[in-house]
């Protein structure tokens, strides 16, 4: 089993739609969790950290479920500019593991 | 520009040659990471430094790969005897080493390596 698993997509959604991505991780000792966004041929950029209590930043909501070992990202009211690859990141004591990324394409 | 910088941005080399990449982190950041990313994959962790100390190395980092951060500022990644399988984007990231859950990594633009 991979340490961090994501559905690579692509997810093709119309503008204004709500879309959700999940990411599962295998190491129950993982300490911190993040979502990064990567545009085509660009470097990854932090979208948001993920806390047990859940956190929201505008149209984006991230949640962590430690019992089931997954994190999620919800995007409401999708914009064309949200088209990108969303990378799930899981951090242990020393090691950082990225998922393969989920590609989102928002269609006019 | 006060972000993470990497040089060169592109490198084409022949199989068997040695290459060296440089990363200049954000100035006050004490942690520096190296990753490798191939098409359609997420970044793969290679190694990380806290100040000048190399604290973790991935098993992906074969003995042909070596990284240094001699004064705790910039870092170099050297690949000896390059192979075609080394072709990838090499990404550097830096962070201010707060508590792990607070850490934000800032990535450089990467060095794209092509081994012919």
pLDDT score for B72: 85
The rounded distance, in Å, linking the Cα atoms of A38 and B60 is 23
Taking the CA of residue A13 as centre, how many other CA atoms within 13 Å lie in the half-sphere pointing to its CB? 22
Please judge whether A43 and B91 are an interchain contact, meaning their C-beta atoms are less than 8 angstroms apart: yes
Query: Per residue in B49-96, pLDDT tens?
Result: 999 999 888 887 889 999 999 988 999 999 999 999 999 999 999 998
Please judge whether B45 and A44 are an interchain contact, meaning their C-beta atoms are less than 8 angstroms apart: no
Say yes or no to pLDDT of B45 above 70: yes
Q: Is B79 helix (H, G, I), strand (E, B) or coil?
A: strand
How would you classify the pairing of strands B88-95 and B111-115?
antiparallel
Chain-centroid distance of CA B100 in Å reads 20
| B41, B56, B103 ranked by CB distance to A94: nearest | B56
Q: Report the 10 Å Cβ neighbour count for A34.
A: 23
The minimum CA-CA distance between B14 and chain A, rounded to whole Å, is 23
Please judge whether B43 and A94 are an interchain contact, meaning their C-beta atoms are less than 8 angstroms apart: no
**Would you call B104 an interface residue with chain A, using a CB distance cutoff of 8 Å?**
yes
The rounded distance, in Å, linking the Cα atoms of A88 and B95 is 18
The rounded distance, in Å, linking the Cα atoms of B108 and B96 is 15
CB pairs under 8 A between A and B: 52
| A32, A93, A99 ranked by CB distance to B42: nearest | A99
Query: Per residue in A19-62, pLDDT tens?
Result: 999 999 998 888 889 999 999 989 999 999 897 888 999 999 99
Instruction: Judge whether B74 and B22 are in contact, CB under 8 Å.
Output: yes
Q: Rounded to 5 degrees, what are φ and ψ at B85?
A: -70, -10
Q: Is A68 helix (H, G, I), strand (E, B) or coil?
A: coil
């Amino acid at each position: 089993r991979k340490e961090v698993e994501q559905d690579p997509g692509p997810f093709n959604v119309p503008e204004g739609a709500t879309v959700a991505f999940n990411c599962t991780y295998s190491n129950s000792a993982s300490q911190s969790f993040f979502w990064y966004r990567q545009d085509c041929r660009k470097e990854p950029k932090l979208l948001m950290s993920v806390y047990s209590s859940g956190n929201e930043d505008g149209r984006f909501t991230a949640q962590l479920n430690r019992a089931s070992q997954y994190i999620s990202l919800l995007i409401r009211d999708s914009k064309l500019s949200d088209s990108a690859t969303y990378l799930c990141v899981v951090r242990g004591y020393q090691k950082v593991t990225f998922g393969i990324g989920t590609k989102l394409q928002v269609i006019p | 520009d006060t972000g993470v910088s990497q040089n060169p941005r592109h490198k084409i080399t022949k199989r068997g040659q040695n290459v060296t990449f440089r990363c200049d982190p954000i100035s006050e950041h004490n942690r520096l990471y190296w990753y490798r990313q191939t098409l359609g994959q997420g970044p793969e962790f290679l190694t990380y430094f806290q100040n000048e100390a190399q604290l973790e190395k991935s098993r992906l980092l074969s003995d042909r790969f070596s990284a240094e951060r001699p004064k705790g500022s910039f870092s170099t990644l050297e690949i000896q005897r390059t192979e075609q399988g080394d072709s990838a984007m090499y990404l550097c990231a830096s962070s201010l080493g707060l508590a792990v859950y607070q850490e934000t990594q800032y990535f450089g633009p990467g060095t794209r390596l092509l081994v012919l």
